[in-house]
Structure 1
Amino acid sequence: MTTIDRQLIGYLKDAHALQQHVQAALSELLTAAADEPEMCGPLGRYAERSRAHTRAVEARLRAHGSAPSLVRDAGMLFAAVVEGGLGRSRRDPVGRHMRDAYVAVHLQIAAGEMLRRVAERAGDPETAEVAAAMCDDASMMSRGLSDRWDLAVDMSLRQHGVRDVPPPPGSGK
């Protein structure tokens, strides 16, 4: 196995672990925003796409004679569970979950970009295509989350009993 092949497999394993983390972050946000269809609809669709990307990454690992890294996956899942548990114990508002999901999709973009570029250099167009799809979907989700910051703030304030909040400046509402 060449050095670039080892690098490619390492990036695939990282992408798989990150997919696990993103799914956990999305699950927390979906739970926190269960009563907001404007938030849950796009998040639910993205969660489905994220699971599909996870399966695609697993297939690419198998194509290279490898498998996901249980240690990396467990580490990412442990971090997500700890974050989620701390959020509940501190009565974290949906805003914190929104922030975590936003960060997670940007990590996904970065991991996907690195994976795509290494795959292209390794002559693996199938993996490059999987990585590009991950990046495209994560970029779209990033924009979708960005469009919902005010909704997340409203939801967070409502969780803490704040009512009759004026609309954001410049919103025309």
Structure 2
Amino acid sequence: MGWLRRPVVAGGLVLGLAVAAVGLYLFQPWKLWTDETVNEALPSSDPVVVESEKPGAAEEPDAAEEPQEPAGPMTLAEGRFITHEHATEGTVKIVDLGDGERVLRLEGLDTSNGPDLKVWITDAEVLPGEEGWGVFDDGAYLDLGKLKGNKGNQNYTLPADADLDAYSSVSIWCDRFNVSFGAAELARV
């Protein structure tokens, strides 16, 4: 019977290693001790210089034809993060850059790192505590992409056709475990 134990032990070791590998892949525990800091500046819209199309046009433009500079960045909505599954702090803003482009900006973000973190803008109500952890995928949401870093300031371009009146909150969403790390209710400015 000693010859039977060796294959059972070897099989158990192989199975144990496979379970450990899958667990490491899913949970990525090393991310709990590593931070990714991003410090992006708010994008700006540079004024467009338009040259006269008429050769030999008068040097002085008419007052009615003075070129208008695009409006600078303007905050449309903002909110402050609350903690859900992991301690989360910072603010979120929706900023119109003045050239038709809108960005979602995270400022002073401080949360845990984790596997498969995304930035979502959603129609869900932000609820404190465990009740609010899993509500963000129940309704409408826009996935703005992978969280660039768990600390710092970062920008996410909003689709030009996004109806921002349809969305009222932002979540740092762990897509792997369907849970919110933290969320912010957006208030129109």
The answer to which structure has the higher strand fraction is: 2
TM above 0.5: no
Question: TM-score scaled to structure 2, two decimals?
Answer: 0.25
TM-score (norm. length: structure 1)? 0.26
Structure richer in helix, relative to its length: 1
**Bigger Cα Rg:** 2
